Amino acid sequence: MISSRISLTVIPGKRSLSALITLILASTQAVAQSQESECLELEGTPPGLYVTVDQSQVYLTKDGKVVEISPGEAAYANETQLACLKVPPRMLAWPCGSAEALIRRMAPVFSLDELSPVGVVQEVKRRYFEENTALGPPIEWLNGENHGKLHASEFDGLDTSAYWYLPGGPDPFASPKRPRSQLVSLFWSTRQAVLDTNTLDQLRADSEQAGIPVVFLYHRDYEVPISFFGVGVSLKQLQDAFLNKGIQAAPVPVWYAGDHHLKVSISEFERLFDIPAAAEISPARFQALTEELKAYGFTHMPVLVSMMAESKGMILDQPERVRAAAELGINDIPTVIFYYTSSSHLEKCGLPLPQNSMVGGAAAGPAASVLPPPERKASDS
């Protein structure tokens, strides 16, 4: 038990000016001292307070000393000391889920420039699964950044049978919203390095001479490729895996360009949700929906389904689109899954989950536990 007082302040993504002013006025000298202090390298996990953060910043104060930690970093306090940690203990790894935190929590990170020019992809894969290290620093790949350029032969030997999304159409780059990069997804949960085969042929034709831009995606420990569930998986099966085992299908890369997890039949939507009849939709709204579907199908936006852990329910966005599709004879609808727990929503949004917002067949219920992944043992690395 830590008997001395420790204060913890959480600053949202855009730092609260008033909170910062209060903190600085309380201990201006202490902030300077904390910046000069060195981080600890603990042996084992001695008793004390361990703190990490996925997004935003956290400030800890003790006896006039202040320590600030950012996404992926960690701090430790006991009765006599307060300090940042050089390496976050593994028990803190699971809550650090954002891409930035995932990279920063791994020690050390490395860049492609450090590797031999041959066998780069296999070495990145080996370092992640055997040494628990990752490429850094974080990149904004959706804004066009990439980890580097590689020859097409570098992607030989990766898993091409698994997949974590389905494309919205035959031309992956029909939408200008999709970055022209080759994605390689690394899944700790299944020990797979999955190649995005939807884009490789076109990128090879466009960029092979200059090298193909590559982006490595590091997924959370509880995320798996959608192919993990097998062909023909249903929404109900995905919900059961989420509620009972804490397993989530990995996010699709660019859902607003048509990427989706699966196709759901009209009959399954009608079993799970309250889909309005065509006569219950205003004529103007129904006409707009049908014209949009005739022109673009679901390539601009799939149907969105949110799965809620605490309520054990599901929320369907715009159920009128499902009815319009049914009236047009479209039976299988591209669908994207979003997962929400109280903790994940708080990390991303800073607000409690609206558990009473139930739409389309969702029902209130007691909170369902989301199980953390098994702890990584020394034999795993």
Question: Is the peptide bond preceding residue 138 cis, with omega within 30 degrees of 0?
Answer: no
Stronger pLDDT, 5 or 194, i.e. the higher one: 194
pLDDT digits 0-9 by tens, 252-276: 999 988 999 999 999 999 999 999 9
User: What letter represents residue 160's amino acid?
Assistant: T
Contact 254, 127 (CB under 8 A): no
Domain range 258-349, CATH architecture? Alpha-Beta Complex (3.90)
Smallest CA-to-CA distance from 262 within 277, 252, 247 is with 252
% residues pLDDT > 90 (the chain): 44
Q: What pTM does this model have?
A: 0.66
Rounded to the nearest 5 degrees, what angle is found at the Cα of 165, between the Cα atoms of 164 and 171? 135
How confident is the model at residue 90, as a pLDDT? 60
How confident is the model at residue 53, as a pLDDT? 67
Domain assignments of the chain as residue spans, ordered by start: 7-89, 108-219, 258-349
Position 138 pLDDT exceeds 70: yes
Name the average pLDDT for the chain. Answer: 78
Backbone angles phi, psi at 327, to 5 degrees: -65, -25
Helix axis angle, 28-36 to 17-26, nearest 10°? 90
pLDDT digits 0-9 by tens, 68-105: 776 567 888 888 888 888 877 765 654 444 444 444 44
| Size of the chain, expressed as the number of residues it contains | 381
